[in-house]
Structure formats: structure tokens, C-alpha cells
Amino acid sequence: MSRFDTLFAALEKQGAFVPFVTLCDPTLERSFDIICTIVDNGADALELGFPFSDPLLDGPVIQAANNRALDAGFSTDACFELLTRVRARYPDTPISLLLCANLVYAQGLEHFYQRCHAAGVDAVLIADVPLMAAEPFVQSALKHDIQPVFICPPNADDATVKKVAQQSQGYTYLVSRAGVTSAENQQHASTLDSLIAKLQAHNAPAILQGFGIAKPEQVKDALNAGCRGAISGSAIVKIIERNLDDHAKCLQALGEFVAAMKNATR
């Protein structure tokens, strides 16, 4: 089984907490410390982004993280270096990438997924590739033992839900609401319960709810709705942003936040 499959098989009586951070924000070395702190304080898996100048779904908080990493001179090669170090430190932690298609095209599909496999990546979600155009990405991913992950949007019709369930591996990303990533204005859409039920009916892989997950009670809400876990990005990146001048304080705040969010899954 893949690391994600193994994780969800082990988490029978609790949910998964999956934090998102942008790789190399604010520097490669500090990013490594941040990721280690997150895992050491209870993260079940990691969802990681490559810094990119024109992200599709990222709100202002994560856009700022992208800019910090890019302004410091870090790009794709540095991200793969960092991923390799993270995998060496945490051989069993599932790692997924969330990124835009241009970063894949710049490497070439085969080369990109080959590098993902070599660095120990388990899954890749490309935010701006629609299902109808995903086949080349899926084929390259599977060729290199990378699980393709797809987003189920809050306005998905029945046909889209079925395709997402059939195409996703590792986990399914359920978006809480329309718009870009943000820790504010999270609201439980009335359609989420229906979408979760439909995904489950089509045997979708473990459903993780993302967008606007910033508080322990929101993690509990996601689990109570039938999700297997929750993804939190902007709230974590905000902690990094607030503590750019004090790395030790940043790590302490991140550890406390992740521990509280993980505790909500039990």
C-alpha cells in the first residue's frame, strides 16, 4: 500500500490533520525546521507547495509566502532538495504536492514525476488541470508511482463527483467553499454533506476537507460531516508570516497550533 493508504488504514478511530506550507518559505533551512516542527507535533501527512509567481487558488497569505521564497532565490530545484531531506528525516510520513500546471510543464511531465518519485513524494494535486485534460498527467504520475489527487469543488455536479472519485488516489480534496485559500470566512456549505455522501458512494479515497480550516472546532466539524481529515494552510502560513523576525517563536507557535489541531481529530 502507499503511505497515504497505510495512514488511513491506521487511523480507524481518529481523523487526519494535514498542514500545508510553501516550500522554502522564508528560506530553505528555516522551511526544513518548520516542516520538522509540524511533523513532530502531530501532523499525519504533509501537503506542500512550490513557490510560484502566479498561483491560481492561493489567497494573499500564501501568495506572500510564494513571494518570500522566490525573492530569496529558491525555485523548483531547491524544493526538490528540501523534499529529499524531509523524506530522509520522515520515511513514513505521506507527502503530497499541491501546485500549478506550469511548474510541471516547465520540467516536462515525465521528468517532473520522475523527480517526485526520486524525492519520495507520494501524491500530486495540480490545481488548474481540469479532469477532461488530466489524462497525460495521470499516466505520467502512475508510471512513476505517484498518486494523482483531484479537487471536488463545492458546486460539483454528479458527473464531476463520480470522475473525481474514480480518478483520485491517496485522498480526495474536498473544497469547503468557492474562492481562494484563506483562514477567514470559512462557512459550511449546505451541499458539503451531500457531496461527501456522493463521493463515498463512488468509493472515493479518503476525503480531506480544505479551505478555511483554521480552528480545532472546524476540524471536528469536517470529521463529523464524514471526512477522514482536514487540511489547513493559510492559518499555518500566517504564523510563519507573523514571526519572520523570530524563528524560535515561530517554531513554538507552529508546534502549539498543530498539536491543538491534531488533538481535535481524536
Q: Strand 123-126 vs strand 207-210: parallel, antiparallel, or unpaired?
A: unpaired
Could you count the other beta carbons within 10 Å of the beta carbon of residue 177? 16
- Let me know if 47 is a catalytic residue: yes
What 3-state DSSP class applies to 16? strand
- DSSP summary character for residue 232: E
Could you count the other beta carbons within 10 Å of the beta carbon of residue 242? 12
Q: Which of 25, 44, 58, 221 is catalytic?
A: 58
Task: Tell me how far CA of residue 185 lies from CA of 61, 105, 141, 152, in angstroms.
Answer: 14, 33, 34, 19
What 3-state DSSP class applies to 208? strand
Q: Which of 47, 71, 81, 221 is catalytic?
A: 47
Residues 34 and 48 sit within 8 Å (Cβ to Cβ): no
| Dihedral over alpha carbons 109, 209, 170, 9 (to 10 degrees) | 160
Residues 239 and 253 sit within 8 Å (Cβ to Cβ): yes
- Let me know if 184 is a catalytic residue: no
Cell 481529515 -> residue: 229
Q: Strand 147-149 vs strand 151-152: parallel, antiparallel, or unpaired?
A: unpaired
Cα gap 37→251, rounded to integer Å: 6
Positions annotated as catalytic residues are: 47, 58
